[in-house]
Amino acid sequence: MQVNNLILGPEEEMDFLPIIPLNEGGQEDGQELTVPATIPLLPLRNTVLFPGVVIPITVGRDKSIKAVQDAYKSDKLIGVVAQKDSNIEDPGTADLVQIGTVAKIVKLIKMPDGGTTIIIQGKVRFRIDAITEEEPYFKAAITTLQDEQAPADEDFNAYVANIKELAAQIIQLSPNIPAEAGIILRNIENPAFLIHFVSSNLNTDINEKQQLLETGPLRQRADLLMQLLQKELQFAELRNKVTAKTRTELDKQQREYFLQQQLKSIKEELGGDTNAQEIREMQKKAEQKKWPETAKIAFQKGVEKLERMHPSTPDYSVVYNHLDLMLDLPWEAYTTDLYDLKKALATLDKDHYGMKRIKERILEHLAVLKLKGDMKSPILCFVGPPGIGKTSLGKSIANALGRKYVRLSLGGLHDESEIRGHRKTYIGAMPGRILQSIRKVQSSNPVMILDEIDKIGNDFRGDPSSALLEVLDPEQNSSFYDNYLELEYDLSKVLFIATANNLQGIQPALRDRLEIIDLSGYAVEEKVEIAKRHLIPKQKELHGLKSTPICFTDKLVERIIQDYTRESGVRELDRQIASIMRYEARELVLKAKVKPSLGPAVLEKILGKSRYSNDLYKTASIPGVAVGLAWTYVGGDILFIEASSCEGKGELKLTGNLGNVMKESATTALTYLQTNAKKYKMDPSLFTQQNIHIHVPEGAVPKDGPSAGITMMTAISSVLTGRKVKSYLAMTGEITLRGQVLPVGGIKEKVLAAKRSGIKEIILCAQNEKDVQEIEPGFIKGVKFHYVKTMGQVMEIALV
C-alpha cells in the first residue's frame, strides 16, 4: 500500500504515534533488496526500528553524521541498532544490541541550524556477526534474518484481528492521537507489517520493543505484542477513569487543585498506599535506633496507626511529627567524658581566671566518674552578680568534660508548657524546650545551662519553676515525662547548671534541689589579671589591632577599674577597653602610627574625666556620718548613714527610700541607746528633748535589710555625743535590743567594695570572720578588720 503523506507529532504529546509506511512489503518497485555483507551502523538511543516502518531521525553525533552521509552517497542502506543504555553519549561495541534492522535512507535533510535529519524505512532484521571497523564510524559484518511467511490458519488470523481491535481501542481512549490513525490501521493488510507498525508506535519501554524485534517466529511476536497492548489498554482506561473522576471539580478550583486530585485518584487506585515510602524510611531508621523497649513499642503502634491514615487527614501530620521526634531524640546516645583531670583543669584555667571553688567541684565530679564509671549528675547553681562569667563558665565546663553544650534561657518564661511541652493534639503543639535542646545537640548527657533561673515568670498561664522541680531532682529526672512525647525520658545523665543573680527569686522547693555555689565579685587584682589575659587580647583582635604593639600596664588597668567602673563583674571594664581600642584604631588609620604606651593624660582624653572618686568615702568630717556596707544584685557597694538632731519631742524621722526592715533597725538602735544612755555617758533627756533625723543618700534607690543596724546606731551615737566617726572606717552588722551584733551575708562583695573605695578599716560581727578568711589574702591587703560581738565594742572602735 503506497501512501504519499507522513503523519508526525511530538513524542511527548502523543501516546500512540502513527508513522505511515511507504511500502508494506519492504520492497520498492517490485525489486528484491540486496544487502551487502558489511554495512555502516547507526546507533539509536531511545528508538527501535522495525521492518517496513518509516521514522524521522535527527542525527547529532559526528560519527553518525559521517555514517549517514557515506551510506546516502552509496546504496543508501544503513544498519540501525539500539543502545543498551540511552545515557551513554559515545557508545562502544559492548553498548550495542546484537539484533537490528537494515534501513534505507529515504530522505536526507540539512536543517537551518546545521543539524541533519533523515527519514528512514526499515527493510529487514539482521544480526551482528562482528564489528569490522570502529573509526570513523561503526561497520559490521551482518547476517540478515528473513521473516517467515504469515501463517494462514484461523488462529493467527484471530491474533491479527485482536491486535487491530486493541490498537483501535487505545487510539479511541487517547485524545492526543488523531482519528486518521485508526483509519490507517484498519487498511493495513500485511499481518507482518501490522505487527511491526503497532510495535513501533507502542508506548512502552525500549527493552520490550527490542524483545519484540528479537523474537523470531511471527506467531510468538504477535502473542508478545498482544500482552503489551493489553497492558497499554488498561493504563489508558485507568487514565480516563482518573480524568473523568476529577473533571467535575475542574471549574471549582485552580489548576493546582486539579493536579492534586488526579494524584489522589491515582494513589487510591493503587490501593491507598500513599505514605509507604515515608513509613519505610522511618522503619529503616528505627531498626538502627538504640532506645528503650517502651519507646520501641510506642513507635511501632504509631507506625501502624500512620499506615491506616491518609496523608490529607489532619491527624496524619500530628502522628508523623510525633514519630519524627521519637526518631530524632538521642535516647541512649552519650558522649564519652574526658577523665584527664589535669587537662580539664587546664581548660578551665585557660577560659576563666579564679573561681577556685567551682573548678574544684567539677574536678571532684570527674574523679568520681572515673572511679565509679557512672553516677547521677549534680544540679549546680551559680549565684553571683552580673558580668562575672557564670554562663560562659558553663561552656568551659562542657569543653573540659568533653560534652555537648546547650543553653536554655529562662528569663521571662511564663508558660509551664515551655518546660513540659504541649499535648500533641493541639494545633502548633511542640515538645518542651528541654527535649528540644537535647534533640538539637543529639546527646543524652550534655551540659545544659539554665540561664537566669531566678527570673522565671509566674502568672495565670502556669508556673514554670514548679515544672522544673521534676527536671532538677536527681531522684525523679531519670523518668522525666514530656506531654508531647508522652513517654518517659532519662535526664539523669544531663549536667544541669543553673545561673542566678539573686537566690530570693528562686522558690524554696526548687532552691532545695540545687547545689548552690556562690560566685562573688572580682577584686581589683583579679580584674587586672582578667583584663590582661582575656579582655585586652580579645578587644585587640576585634578591632584589627592584634599585631599592633599597645602596652597596658597594671597601673593603667587599675586606674581604669577604679576611676571608670563600679561593678562586681568585668562588662563595663570590657567596654572601656573597647573605647580605648577604637581610639587607637582611628589614630592608626589617620596617622599611621600609635603610641605603644598610654599615660594618664591620654586615658583622660579617651575616656573623659574620672566618673568615680574614692575621696567622698574616705572621711566623715562632721559628727553623725557613718559609712556602711551594702549588698546589691550587682555586687557590693558603699553607702552613707547620716544622722542629725534638733530640738523637739524625741521623734525619729527616717528618709532615703528605706524598707521596713531597715526602719526597724533604726528604731532598735535608738531604743538601745536610750536604754543604755548612762552607760555610754549620754544625757537621757536628749532622747525626749531632741528629734533625730536619719537619712540615707541616693533616695531614688530602694534600700532594705538589717545589715545597716550597727551603722545607724553609730551615726545616732555620734550626733548625740558630738564625737566624729573614725575616717577610712566602714561597718556592717545587725543589732539586737540587748546590744549584740549579729552576722550578715554578702561579706565578700561588701569587703571588696570597701577595698575598691579606699576603706582601711572594717567592723564586722565575730561570726563573719570565717567569711573573710575565704577571701584571697592578697585581695584585701592593707585592710584592717575588727571583729565585735557587742555594740559597746563598735562604739569604742568607731568614735574618736
Do residues 171 and 67 touch, judged by C-beta distance below 8 A? no
Do residues 339 and 368 touch, judged by C-beta distance below 8 A? no
Instruction: Choose among 521, 474, 718: nearest CA to 620.
Output: 718
Task: Please tell me which residue, 353 or 258, carries the higher pLDDT value.
Answer: 353
Whether pLDDT at 12 is above 70: no
Do residues 657 and 666 touch, judged by C-beta distance below 8 A? no
Assign residue 624 a region: left if phi > 0, alpha if psi is -120 to 50, beta otherwise?
left
Do residues 795 and 676 touch, judged by C-beta distance below 8 A? no
Quote the crossing angle between the two packed helices 255-269 and 218-247, to the nearest 10°: 130
Per-residue cell: 302: 504509631
Per-residue cell: 234: 488498561
Q: What does the pLDDT look like over 139-148, one tens digit per residue?
A: 888 888 887 7
- Residue 388's CB is within 10 A of a number of other CB atoms, namely 27
Per-residue cell: 524: 581589683
Confidence of residue 5 (pLDDT cuts 50, 70, 90): very low
Integer Cα distance of 707 and 487 in angstroms: 50
Q: Which residues of 458-471 are buried (b: 16+ CB within 10 A; e: fewer)?
A: eeeebbbbebbbbb
Instruction: Choose among 553, 542, 548, 527: nearest CA to 582.
Output: 542
Q: What does the pLDDT look like over 679-733, one tens digit per residue?
A: 888 888 888 888 999 999 887 778 888 888 999 999 999 988 888 888 889 999 9
- Cα end-to-end span (Å), the chain: 137
SS3 content of the chain, % helix, strand, coil (to 5): 45, 20, 40
Widest Cα–Cα separation across the chain:
152
Confidence of residue 273 (pLDDT cuts 50, 70, 90): low
Q: What does the pLDDT look like over 517-536, one tens digit per residue?
A: 888 777 778 888 889 988 99
Do residues 416 and 463 touch, judged by C-beta distance below 8 A? yes
Integer Cα distance of 358 and 333 in angstroms: 28
- Residue 412's CB is within 10 A of a number of other CB atoms, namely 9
- Residue 427's CB is within 10 A of a number of other CB atoms, namely 7
Q: Where do we find the cell 565578700?
A: 748
Active-site positions read 707, 750
Do residues 50 and 197 touch, judged by C-beta distance below 8 A? yes
Q: What is the CA radius of gyration of the chain?
A: 47
DSSP state of 782: T
Confidence of residue 227 (pLDDT cuts 50, 70, 90): confident
Percent of the chain clearing pLDDT 70 (strictly above) = 90
| Alpha helices (H) along 329-430 | 341-351, 356-372, 390-401, 417-420
Per-residue cell: 341: 583531670
Task: Calculate the average pLDDT of the chain.
Answer: 82
Do residues 264 and 270 touch, judged by C-beta distance below 8 A? no
Q: Any idea which of 20-34, 468-482, 541-555, 576-590 has the lowest mean pLDDT?
A: 20-34
Do residues 640 and 628 touch, judged by C-beta distance below 8 A? yes
Q: Please give the pLDDT value at position 250.
A: 52
Integer Cα distance of 543 and 556 in angstroms: 20
Integer Cα distance of 691 and 266 in angstroms: 97
**Sign of the torsion formed by the C-alpha atoms of 296, 300, 301 and 303:** positive
Whether pLDDT at 32 is above 80: no
Burial zone of 112 (CB within 10 Å; 0-12 exposed, 13-18 middle, 19+ buried): exposed
Confidence of residue 767 (pLDDT cuts 50, 70, 90): very high
Integer Cα distance of 733 and 742 in angstroms: 6
Whether pLDDT at 165 is above 50: yes
Q: Please give the pLDDT value at position 154.
A: 77
Q: φ and ψ at 253, to 5 degrees?
A: -125, 170
Which of 311-320, 369-378, 662-671 is predicted most confidently?
A: 662-671
DSSP state of 533: I
Interior angle at CA 737, CA 736 and CA 740, nearest 5: 45
Integer Cα distance of 191 and 187 in angstroms: 11
Do residues 711 and 697 touch, judged by C-beta distance below 8 A? no
Integer Cα distance of 640 and 617 in angstroms: 8
Do residues 332 and 377 touch, judged by C-beta distance below 8 A? no
Q: What does the pLDDT look like over 559-585, one tens digit per residue?
A: 888 888 878 788 889 999 999 999 888
Integer Cα distance of 746 and 518 in angstroms: 10
Do residues 519 and 388 touch, judged by C-beta distance below 8 A? yes
Residues 6+ apart with CB under 8 A from 235: none
Instruction: Choose among 728, 746, 700, 748: nearest CA to 800.
Output: 728
Confidence of residue 664 (pLDDT cuts 50, 70, 90): very high
Whether pLDDT at 248 is above 70: no
Q: Please give the pLDDT value at position 246.
A: 64
Q: Please give the pLDDT value at position 575.
A: 92
Integer Cα distance of 602 and 607 in angstroms: 9
Whether pLDDT at 10 is above 50: no
Q: Please give the pLDDT value at position 254.
A: 62
**Sign of the torsion formed by the C-alpha atoms of 762, 768, 769 and 772:** negative
Integer Cα distance of 409 and 453 in angstroms: 8
Instruction: Choose among 514, 495, 391: nearest CA to 448.
Output: 495
The identity of residue 694, as a single letter, is I
Q: φ and ψ at 351, to 5 degrees?
A: -85, -30
Whether pLDDT at 76 is above 90: no
Confidence of residue 766 (pLDDT cuts 50, 70, 90): very high
Confidence of residue 785 (pLDDT cuts 50, 70, 90): very high
